[in-house]
Amino acid sequence: MEKTQQAQPTAAAPAALTQATPAAPAAPVPPKPAAAAQSKAAAPKPTGAYVGTIATIRGLTVEILLVGERPEVKELLAVDGHPEVFLEVNFYRGNRAICLNLTNNAVVACGQKVTRTHQKVSVPVGPATMGRVFNALGEPLDKGEPVTDIVRPIAVPTGTKSYRSSKNLELLETGLKVIDFLTPFVKGRKIGIIGGAGVGKTVLTMEMIHNVTQGSNKSLSIYCGVGERIREGNELYETLRDTDVLKNTVMFFGQMDATPAIRSMVGPAAATSAEYFRDEEGRDILFFVDNIYRHIQAMTELSTNLGLIPSEGGYSPMVFSDLRRLQDRLASTEKGTITSVQAIYVPADDLSDPAVQAISQQLDSVLVLDRSIAEQGIRPAVNLLKTTSSLLTPKIVGERHYRLAEKVQAIMQKYDSLKNIIAIVGENELSAADRADYQNAKKLITFFSQDFAVAEKFSGKPGEYFTLEQTLDGIEAILNGKDTESEDEKAKSGSEKPTSANTESTSEQAAEKPAAEATPEPKPEQKS
C-alpha cells in the first residue's frame, strides 16, 4: 500500500524536465499515481550560453561563479555533462548566482560548467490535464503520457486583480452540519481546517471533496498535496477514480519524501493550473490543499539551506511574503472563482505559531479542530468557540441562520465557564437557567457530530449528509427546548430530527458517553 519506497520521481529525478534524460531512474513497479515519470517534450535545452562554474555546494544550495551571461532569476541552468540535473537560480550575491538543485542529484560537483536554458519550471495546464496527476515539475505521476500542449511557468502569477466583491455571494452546501452552520462555504472564498497531527484534517478535507464534488459535473477541482503521506494521495486518487470525480480533477503532489525545493513548488504549480482555468476558461474552481503548512515548512527548510536568517518564531520573513503571494494567486477575479479548502497543520498543537497565524489571517473562515474533542470521539472534532468566519453575517447567511449562530456561540461560551464551576460544585448547584444552557450546550456538541462517508471504512457507519435546512431546524429545536427529555431518552426515541432520526440517535449515543465523562460529577438525572 505504501508507495513511499516506489516512484519518487520528484525526489529522485525530475525526468520530465528534460528530454535528454532517458536514463532517469525510472520508478520501479509503482501502483496507482506512481508511474515512472517520463520525458517530456517541453524540456529545457541544456545548450544555452555559458554562465559560469559551480563554486560551492551546500546541501541543495549550489553557488555559481558568474563568468559568462547572467541568467534570469528562476531560470533553469543545465550542468555540463549531466543532462538529468537542473539548477534553479534563486538570487544573486555579488558575482555569484545562488541556485537550488531541484533534483538533489549527487553528481553535481564543484568546477562543473553551467549553461543557460532560457526556461523556468513549468507545468501543463488546461483541459488535457483533467483527470491527471502531476508532480511540481509537471511530470505525470499516473501512468498516462506527459501533457505538453499548454505549459505555463509556475512562478509567474497571471491573475489581473483579485477582488472580494460582496455581490453574488453564493453559498455552497457541504452537508456537514458544523461547517454549513459556523463557517459557511461561500463560492470564491477560503476556508481553513486547522489542527494538530491526527485530529482529522485530512479526513474532513476528503469528506468535503466527497460531498461537494459528487454529482455536479460542472465543478472542476484541483487537489494539491504538499508534504503529507503518500498513501493518502494514493487513496484519494483511487477514491476519485472509483467515484468518477477524477475526470473533473487535476492533482499535484509533492509529498513528504520530496526535497524541500520540490515541496515548495507544488503549491505554485497547482495555483498555475487554477489560474489558467480561471483566467482562460472563466471556470469556477474548487481548490483543495493538504497541507498548506507544509509549504511554509518547505520554504523554511529552503531558506535555512540558502543561509537566510530566521526571525519571527524561527521563520524567515521571506516565508511569509511567499505565502502571501501564493494566497493572492488563489483569489477570485472577474473571470472566475477559486474556492479553497486548506488543511493547516499546527505544530505542537500551538495555535499561536506565527506561521499558523499568518495562514489563518488570509482565510475567510477557520475551522479549528481540537485534540481533546477528537479524544471524546466527536467528529468532526470542531472547537465551536475557536472556530471563526468573517462570512457569518446576516447578509450572507440570512437573519435566521445568523441569530441561531449568535445564540449557539453565547451558549458555548457559557458552557465553557460553567464547566469549571461544575467541576467544583456540581451541576445541581446551578440555577435552572444555567443548567438548561449547560444541557443545551452538551446537546449541541453532540448534534454537530456526524458520521463521514469517507470514514465508513474505519467507523463501519455510513456517512450522513444534512441539508442546511435540516441543520438549522435541529439547532432551533435544541435551543427552543423542544426536546426537554433527557439525552438518553431522546436517543432512544430518536425524536429530534425526523429526517435523520436513526442515524442521529446512534451518533448521540456514541457521543453521550464521552460527554458525560467530561463532567466529573456523576451525571445527575436531568429535569429542566
Ligand X SMILES: Nc1ncnc2c1ncn2[C@@H]1O[C@H](COP(=O)(O)OP(=O)(O)O)[C@@H](O)[C@H]1O
Residues that bind ligand X (CB under 6 A): 195, 197-203, 379, 452, 455, 458-459
- Of 143, 229, 335, 461, catalytic: 229
C-beta of 167: minimal distance to ligand X in Å?
A: 35
Please identify which residue in the block is written with the cell numbers 532517469: 24
In this complex, which beta carbon is closest to Mg ion, that of residue 196 or of residue 398?
196
In this complex, which beta carbon is closest to ligand X, that of residue 201 or of residue 295?
201
Residues 6+ apart with CB under 8 A from 96: 55, 63, 64, 65, 66
Name the grid cell of 528.
Answer: 429542566
Residue 2 annotated among the catalytic residues of the structure: no
Taking CB within 5 to 8 Å according to partner kind, which of ligand X, Mg ion, none is near residue 452?
ligand X
Name the grid cell of 261.
Answer: 525545493
C-beta of 256: minimal distance to ligand X in Å?
A: 12
Name the grid cell of 355.
Answer: 506561521
Burial pattern 310-334, b for ≥16 Cβ within 10 A else e, equals eeeeebbebbbebbeebbebbbbbe
Taking CB within 5 to 8 Å according to partner kind, which of Mg ion, ligand X, none is near residue 203?
ligand X
C-beta of 251: minimal distance to ligand X in Å?
A: 17
C-beta of 21: minimal distance to Mg ion in Å?
A: 33
Cα-based distances in Å from 397 to 188, 201, 320, 378, 480: 15, 25, 32, 25, 20
* Closest among 125, 157, 119, 155 to 138, alpha carbons compared: 125
Pair 53, 111: CB distance under 8 Å: yes
Taking CB within 5 to 8 Å according to partner kind, which of ligand X, Mg ion, none is near residue 23?
none
C-beta of 157: minimal distance to ligand X in Å?
A: 29
Strand segments, DSSP code E, in 280-387 are: 284-290, 337-345, 365-368
CA distance 341 to 461: 25
C-beta of 290: minimal distance to Mg ion in Å?
A: 6
Radius of gyration of the chain (CA): 26
In this complex, which beta carbon is closest to ligand X, that of residue 229 or of residue 414?
229
455 CA to centre of own chain:
18
DSSP 525: P
- Of 40, 116, 189, 201, catalytic: 201
In this complex, which beta carbon is closest to Mg ion, that of residue 239 or of residue 519?
239
Pair 201, 345: CB distance under 8 Å: yes
In this complex, which beta carbon is closest to Mg ion, that of residue 193 or of residue 331?
193
In this complex, which beta carbon is closest to ligand X, that of residue 12 or of residue 384?
384
C-beta of 377: minimal distance to ligand X in Å?
A: 8
Pair 369, 203: CB distance under 8 Å: no
Residue 228 annotated among the catalytic residues of the structure: yes
C-beta of 373: minimal distance to ligand X in Å?
A: 11
Cα-based distances in Å from 220 to 81, 120, 249, 283: 42, 27, 6, 8
Q: Which residues bind Mg ion (CB under 5 A)?
A: 201-202
CA distance 295 to 132: 22
Taking CB within 5 to 8 Å according to partner kind, which of ligand X, Mg ion, none is near residue 188?
none
Residue 456 annotated among the catalytic residues of the structure: no
CA distance 372 to 512: 15
Taking CB within 5 to 8 Å according to partner kind, which of ligand X, Mg ion, none is near residue 458?
ligand X
Residue nearest to Mg ion (CB): 202
- Of 228, 464, 487, 512, catalytic: 228
In this complex, which beta carbon is closest to Mg ion, that of residue 201 or of residue 210?
201
CA distance 274 to 342: 15
In this complex, which beta carbon is closest to ligand X, that of residue 12 or of residue 455?
455
Q: What are phi and psi of 50, to 5 degrees?
A: -70, 135
The residues annotated as belonging to the active site are 201, 228-229
